[in-house]
A and B are shown apart, each in its own frame.
Chain A
Amino acid sequence: MLSKVPLPQQFDRLIVTGGIVTSVFVILILTILLILKFVGFISYTEVFFWLISSGMIIGALASVFLKNIVHAVFSLLAPLLGIVAIYLFLGSEFLALAQLLIYGGGVVILLLFALMMTDVQDNPVVIDGSQKPVGFIIAVLIGFVLLYSIFTADIEIATPSSLSLADLGSNIFTQFLIPFLLLGILLDIALTGALLNGKKHKNLQSSDSDE
């Protein structure tokens, strides 16, 4: 099993290539944004916001379009960690922290474990289906509808307000108590189900009895 882990050659190349590509993109976008800042179009807050959001979009595109599964999973880190910064922009520190811990620490590691246990070493390059153009057309249409409705909506000007942790806790444990308890039951059921599902059954004819 350990010989199937894609370390270290692929990992080294992955880190070096990813670092070079990321730094080229970040430096390019940061240069454009700082020029705009010194010309006077935008403020430092907007520089940071545009940098984060462009990084998120590039990472999301990479995780959808890249052929190599390991590269795609690592590219997913960019949008998932960019959301932490977006939550901080919107003034929700606890949510940003929870997102960072659960997604950056938990979900991506779980995905990498699943990759390790499946056939990533034998054929890391996936071939996408023939439904690709249809999917592209549908996604563009949905994006057009969403963006059109955003641009034509009558949104009144407001300023975001930050939420303190004490308010969040008192809201969860008073108004949203029953959904919170149901969520605990759901997590319990899901993890028990995952455990039972992953267990080997004695009466099932498994083709790999050597594991």
Chain B
Amino acid sequence: MIPLENFLILSSILFCIGFYGVLSRKNAILILISVELMLAAVGINFVAFSSFYDTERYSGHIFALFVVAIAAAEVGLALGIIIRLFRERKTINIDEANELKW
């Protein structure tokens, strides 16, 4: 049987990789990809703790389900914004999106 620590270590490594991606990328879609990685890592943590210790209510499973739904909404909204940005500025480099209004 696989102990809890393995799942936690896996999710920490994935979270750090996603965090590095958020900090280092400049393309908006690639930043979105890294955010997806971080959300997935958090989902592993939720489900692991809930499956090992919270065997009465399984709150973590339900939270992970909610995270999946919210991530889907977030991706739809963010891609709408990115396409709008590209249509008006011809770029999705976030360094060039430096005005609040144009």
Check if A80 is an interface residue, CB within 8 A of chain B. yes
Interface residues of B in 17-72 (CB under 8 A from A): 17-27, 29-30, 32-34, 36-37, 40, 43-44, 47-48, 51-53, 55, 57-59, 61-62, 64-66, 68-72
Q: Knowing A56-B10, A86-B10 touch, does A163 contact B2 (C-beta < 8 A)? A: no
Residues on the A chain within 8 Å of B75, using CB: 107, 110-111
| Number of A-B residue pairs having CB atoms within 8 Å of each other in the complex | 228
User: Which residue of B4, B25, B68 contacts A99 across the interface (Cβ within 8 Å)?
Assistant: B68
Contact with B along A5-43 (1 / 0, CB 8 A): 000000000000000000000000000000000000000
The answer to whether A69 and B29 touch across the interface, beta carbons within 8 angstroms, is yes
**A3 at the B interface (CB under 8 A):** no
A167 to B14, CA, bound (A): 29
For the complex, give the distance between the alpha carbons of A161 and B27 in Å. Answer: 41
- Report A104 CB to chain B, min CB distance, Å: 12
In the complex, B100 has a CB within 8 A of chain A: no
Rounded to whole angstroms, the CA-CA distance of A159 and B2 in the bound complex is: 9
Q: A169 CB to closest chain B CB, in angstroms?
A: 10
Interface size class of chain A, counting residues whose CB lies under 8 Å from the partner chain: 35 or more
| A140 near B1: Cβ-Cβ < 8 Å | no
Given the complex of chains A and B, what is the CA–CA distance between A53 and B73 in angstroms?
27
Is A76 in contact with B37, judged by CB distance below 8 angstroms? Answer: yes
CB proximity to B under 8 Å, residues A147-171:
147, 150-151, 155, 157-163, 167-168, 171
**B2 with A179: CB separation less than 8 A:** no
Collect the chain B residues with CB atoms within 8 Å of residue A73's CB: 29, 33
Q: For residue B72, which residues in chain A have a CB less than 8 angstroms away from its CB?
A: 102, 106-107, 187
Counting chain B residues whose Cβ lies within 8 A of the other chain, the interface size class is 35 or more
Q: Given A135-B23, A138-B23, A155-B5, are A83 and B83 also a contact pair (CB < 8 Å)?
A: no
The answer on a CB contact under 8 Å between A83 and B43 is yes
Interface residues of B in 68-102 (CB under 8 A from A): 68-77, 79-84, 86-88, 90-92, 95
Given contacts A95-B65, A139-B19, A193-B77, contact A128 B26 (CB under 8 A): yes
A-B contact pairs, 27 of them (CB 8 A): A45-B2, A56-B10, A61-B17, A63-B33, A64-B21, A69-B30, A73-B29, A98-B65, A107-B72, A110-B76, A111-B32, A113-B79, A114-B79, A126-B30, A129-B95, A138-B19, A138-B20, A139-B17, A139-B19, A150-B8, A150-B9, A160-B52, A167-B58, A171-B58, A176-B59, A183-B70, A190-B74
Known: A64-B20, A110-B79. 8 other contacts (CB 8 A): A57-B13, A76-B36, A113-B79, A119-B90, A147-B12, A168-B61, A187-B73, A198-B83
